[in-house]
Amino acid sequence: MNQLDPELKRLIRWSRAADADAATEAPYGMAVRIASRWRAMVVQSETEPAWWRQFQVTAAWLSVAILVIGASVWTSRLETDLGAYTLTPAYQLIAKNIAP
């Protein structure tokens, strides 16, 4: 049988001698330190102006709104027997399906 590496034997001895009931919780305040380091990494870069970040957030929400409206129009088109090129006015769609 192969002999174990002396360092591995030493680590196995230490693990056997270790207290099995040792605390497995993180030290007090560790979560706060981790969260503060994370917040420090999330800080905006100095080269990016605040208005640009606000523009990006607004554009993202507008994109989501457009996707939701498009999905509602698409599902309403699936439920009707109208042709693919017959589009009812948007206010009728909203009045009938979204805000009765």
Q: What pLDDT, in 10s, does the model give residues 34-44?
A: 888 877 776 65
Query: Which residue in 60, 58, 84 sits closest to 73, CA to CA?
Result: 84
pLDDT of 52-86, one tens digit each?
888 999 999 999 999 998 888 777 777 666 655 56
Residue 44 makes CB contacts below 8 A (sequence gap 6+) with 50, 53
Whether this prediction's pTM lies above 0.85 is answered by no
Tally the C-alpha atoms within 13 A of residue 45's C-alpha that lie toward its C-beta. Answer: 3
